[in-house]
Every structure is written in C-alpha cells, then in structure tokens.
Amino acid sequence: MRTIVAIAGLVLALAGCTVDSVGRPSPALEIGPGIEPIPGSITYGGQPRTRLTKSPIGSVVSHQFRNEFGQRVEERYILQPDRSLKLVSRRVYREPFWDD
C-alpha cells in the first residue's frame, strides 16, 4: 500500500514538470502510459520469460542500464496482476559516463 501511495505522490509531483518544444518532459524524464521500451529495457522485445512469482502485485521494480549513447537510464516497472511488468517511468541522465 505504501508503494502505491509513493508512486501516486511521484506522479503528482512530476505532473508539474515543464515540457520542451518537442513535447518531451524536461530534463529527460518520461512518465505515463505511452512509454515504449528501448534497447536495454526489461520488456524490450516482449515480456521476460521468467515471472516474478513471489513479489506482491503492485511491486515496483527498478532497472538501470546504459543506452546506445553511454548515458545512464533508470526505469521503473509495476508488477501487474497477470505477473507482467508495466513500464511506468524512465529517466535518462545526460552525462555520458557513470560509475556502476
């Protein structure tokens, strides 16, 4: 329950973000139902073969990787009732290098 409240608060806080001239949120934060997986995303190319069977429905799963430009990408997923993962937010950091 706390997770859902935290996500709702995050969504409300991010609703006030500015949008650049192309229509993307600044500074490179994407959130909403239209986010598409990119190479490196857990759900890129479809749902993973293994399912999270022990995690409670509504759990938040975080994933970090580097995109094709070497930028750090953080994504958040929510575990759905059918045990699939729904991509709900993505943040791309503009610096080209980062520490693991």
Q: What are 96's two structure tokens?
A: 């080209």
> Residue 79: how many CB atoms within 10 A of its CB?
19
| Cβ atoms 92, 71 nearer than 8 A | yes
DSSP state of 27: T
Give the per-residue pLDDT at 86.
94
Q: What is the pLDDT of residues 3-58, one digit of tens each?
A: 766 666 556 555 555 444 445 444 566 676 788 999 999 999 999 888 888 899 99
Give the per-residue pLDDT at 2.
72
Which of the given ranges, 29-38, 58-67, 89-98, has the highest pLDDT on average?
58-67
Residue at 92: amino acid letter: V
DSSP state of 58: T
pTM: 0.64
Helix (H) / strand (E) containing 9: helix 2-14
